[in-house]
Structure 1
Amino acid sequence: MSQHAAVTTHFLEMTAPNQLRGKPRPPALEVIEAELKEYRFNRYLYQLVGEPWQWTDKLALPDETWRQYAEREQLRTWVAYHRGAIAGYYELEQQADGDVQIAYFGLAPRFVGMGFGGYLLTCALQSAWAWGNTRRVWVHTCTLDHPGALHNYRARGMLVYRTEQE
């Protein structure tokens, strides 16, 4: 008899840029915005970073759906590079009323555990606050994500405002 573990989703937010507790940049890690939008790149990043965490729901979507998602004005993508290799990425989505969601965030599998996550999240939060008239930055994470994800969000100054059990 198999039992499915309950999934807990935590919703976190930051409501002022001065709440950010940044982490310094590790040596040889660069974070660069992918200013030229290319949906195939976003799909690759989603697959690369999400594979260990079973991010599979969007992989079967047709090219046009990916293009409409990734190449719109309200979505921006940043990529972390370590010595030329993709170490991780994040996508920010500008929403109504000054909200910016960290839509996707994570490290490539070979770079997990190297201390890059805190700096990458610092960059994500700084990018979100620098984008237009941001009044709130939010994200959600669940118990299926990396075990350190929730800690990283909290350590950077984000606060849980809602928790859901599935």
Structure 2
Amino acid sequence: MKKENPILPDGYSSVPPGKLATVVTCLQMFAPPKPRPSPETESRFALDHWASPSLEAYRAIFRAVGENWMWVSRLVMSDEALNAILRNPAVEIYVLRDGDRPIGLLELDFRQEGECELGYFGLVKDAIGKGAGRFLMSNAIAKAWSKPITRFWVHTCHFDSPAALPFYQRSGFTPYRFMVEIIDDPRLGGVLPRTASPHIPLIEPSAF
């Protein structure tokens, strides 16, 4: 997670032109939860470990999964910095497939000793609501707790699907902290199309 700034004061805080603000919820668990029933459709899915993805292939599925939820960090990251993450043995990347088609991305980050961060977790739009998310999360939990960790954590924000936070809670994560993140609106600079994330208003800097 990025560096932290001073705590915001009570009341309203203005967001600069061209920026976005999102409320982040951090969640954690300290032991593997009781397994949930597997969906009947899970035999359709396969989870492949992606040992050495190319930058182009990784960014393509990152964009396919995250464009409507304002996933942008790996799109603006330098090739050198992203390549260092993708080649780090403490970062495990998986692609969820429905047959031959990639439909989801899972990233488990073990770089902090004794912990695992659910770095990225998501599905392409037309795979949502068909059991793929439960299959992916069950595998994420099993793979995380197969390592010598004492804490598994994730953060989500209000840019994400409204179903994300309750899904994480049903999966065994407990909220423990709120934060506010400020980022450049990636639609204004062309990193994402202007039609991306339609649930987040696009405000032209000239409107201020």
Q: Same fold (TM over 0.5)?
A: yes
Question: 1:79-115, CA deviations, whole angstroms, 9 ceiling, x for partnerless residues?
Answer: 1111211110110010333010011110012212223
Rg comparison, structure with higher value: 2
Counterpart selection for 1:8 from 18, 23, 47: 23
* Cα pair 1:92 1:101 within 8 Å, conserved: yes
Partner of residue 73, structure 2: 57
Q: Structure 1 8/126 Cα, relative in aligned 2: closer, same or farther at 3 Å?
A: same
Aligned length: 161
Counterparts in 2 of 1:143 and 1:23: CA distance versus 1, 3 Å: farther
Moved over 4 A (4+): 3-6
1:22 aligns with 2:36: yes
What's the TM-score once normalised by structure 1's chain length? 0.86
Q: CA deviation at 1:20?
A: 4.2
Matching residue's letter, 1:90: L
Instruction: Give the counterpart letter for 1:24 in structure 2.
Output: S
1:102-158 CA-to-partner distances (Å, cap 9, x unmatched) read 111100122122232122111111111112x11110000001011111111111111
Q: Give the structure-2-normalised TM-score.
A: 0.70
Secondary structure of the 1:138 match is: strand
Aligned counterpart, 1:157: 172
After superposition, where does 1:1-166 map in structure 2 within 5 Å?
A: 7-17=22-32, 19-25=33-39, 26-34=42-50, 36-40=51-55, 41-131=57-147, 133-165=148-180
In the TM superposition, what whole-angstrom CA distance separates every residue of 1:15-38 from its partner, at most 9, and x where no partner exists?
012x2443415231111212x312
Contiguous gaps of at least 5 residues in structure 2: 1-13, 182-208
Structure 2 letter corresponding to 1:149: A
**Gaps (5+ residues) in structure 1?**
none
1:91 & 1:23 partners in 2: Cα distance? Answer: 23
Could you list the per-position Cα deviations for residues 56-101 of structure 1 after superposition, in whole angstroms to 9, with x for gaps in the alignment? 2331333222211111111001111112111101100103330100
Measure, in 2, the Cα distance between the counterparts of 1:20 and 1:101: 19
Q: Distance in 2 between matches of 1:87 and 1:8?
A: 27
Q: What is the percent sequence identity of the aligned residues?
A: 28
RMSD: 2.1
CA distance in 2, matches of 1:156, 1:139: 12
